[in-house]
Structure formats: structure tokens, C-alpha cells
């Protein structure tokens, strides 16, 4: 049986990702924060002082992309980069007072967004969705 455009799971996931990203982009605009930059900030709000490599690993992004995002976040005054004392090639990312304060606005926004997105899902359904997405990610990694 030949699949139609709408039958591909990758197309369905892509459309969902576009919808999620488009919505959150408009909500983050007043805070001068792009969705990808927000991911870095969310990690730092959980654990300040991560290295750029740790951020890249947690977000599954290449190091150059993270370095560029860190540079932009630094220019905006949200973070500062410092060389690691034990490894001069590595940089640690620290929140500035402005970056810490930003969490008071963005984390409630992210929580509300997550609540809306997960509305009408049971805890079991969310666990199943997480399991299925992990399975897809593992399958894709096998292709690489």
C-alpha cells in the first residue's frame, strides 16, 4: 500500500512541532527570547553553571549551534560565559541577575503552555506518548 503525504508519521510530528514552536515563539517574543534560546535558559534555570558541552548534549544540538546561542544570550544580558578553571577550552554558562529574573515571567508561561498542550491527556497517556516518542527517537538514531 502506497502512503499518502498525510500518512507519514514524520509529517504528523513535524506539523505538531511547527504548531508548538509557532505558538511559543509568539509568547516569548516580548521577552526577547527565541524558542531555541529558551531551551538553554530552561536548563540553566534548573542547573546554573552548565558547560556549553553539557547543554549541547542535553539538547542534542551541535556545539557550534550552542556556542552561537550562548553568545546571543550573553549579548542580551541573560547569561555570562566563563572559562572552566580545570579546562580552558570549555566554557560554563551562568545566569545574570537579569537572566534569573526572566525566569519569573517565562517559567509560568512554559508551565501554562505545557498544561494546555497536555489538557485531556491522562497520566498514563502522557507516559505512553513519552514511550512512543522515545521509541521513534531510538529508531531514527539507528539510521544515523
pLDDT in tens, 106-137: 999 999 999 999 999 999 999 999 999 999 99
Give the pTM. Answer: 0.88
Instruction: Give residue 129's pLDDT.
Output: 97
Cell reading at 95: 545566569
Instruction: Give residue 88's pLDDT.
Output: 64
Cell reading at 126: 502522557
Distance CA 142, CA 144 (A): 6
Instruction: Give residue 3's pLDDT.
Output: 86
* Residue position matching grid coordinates 508519521: 9
Note whether 79 and 73 are within 8 A (CB): yes
> Which domains, and CATH codes, for the chain?
5-143 (1.10.10.10)
Query: If you write DSSP's letter for every residue of 33-76 in order, what string do you get?
Result: --HHHHHHHHHHHHSTTEEHHHHHHHHT--HHHHHHHHHHHHHT
> What are residue 91's DSSP bridge partners?
83
Mean pLDDT of 95-101: 98
Amino acid at each position: 500500500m502506497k502512503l499518502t503525504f498525510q500518512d507519514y508519521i514524520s509529517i504528523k510530528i513535524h506539523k505538531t512541532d511547527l504548531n508548538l514552536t509557532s505558538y511559543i515563539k509568539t509568547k516569548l517574543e516580548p521577552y526577547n527570547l527565541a524558542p531555541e534560546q529558551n531551551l538553554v535558559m530552561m536548563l540553566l534555570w534548573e542547573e546554573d553553571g552548565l558547560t556549553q558541552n553539557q547543554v549541547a548534549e542535553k539538547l542534542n544540538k551541535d556545539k557550534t549551534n550552542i556556542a552561537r546561542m550562548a553568545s546571543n544570550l550573553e549579548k542580551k544580558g541573560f547569561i555570562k560565559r566563563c572559562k572552566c578553571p580545570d579546562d580552558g577550552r570549555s566554557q560554563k554558562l551562568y545566569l545574570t541577575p537579569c537572566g534569573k529574573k526572566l525566569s519569573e515571567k517565562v517559567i509560568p508561561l512554559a508551565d501554562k503552555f505545557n498544561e494546555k498542550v497536555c489538557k485531556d491527556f491522562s497520566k498514563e497517556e502522557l507516559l505512553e506518548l513519552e514511550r512512543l516518542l522515545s521509541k521513534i527517537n531510538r529508531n531514527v538514531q539507528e539510521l544515523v
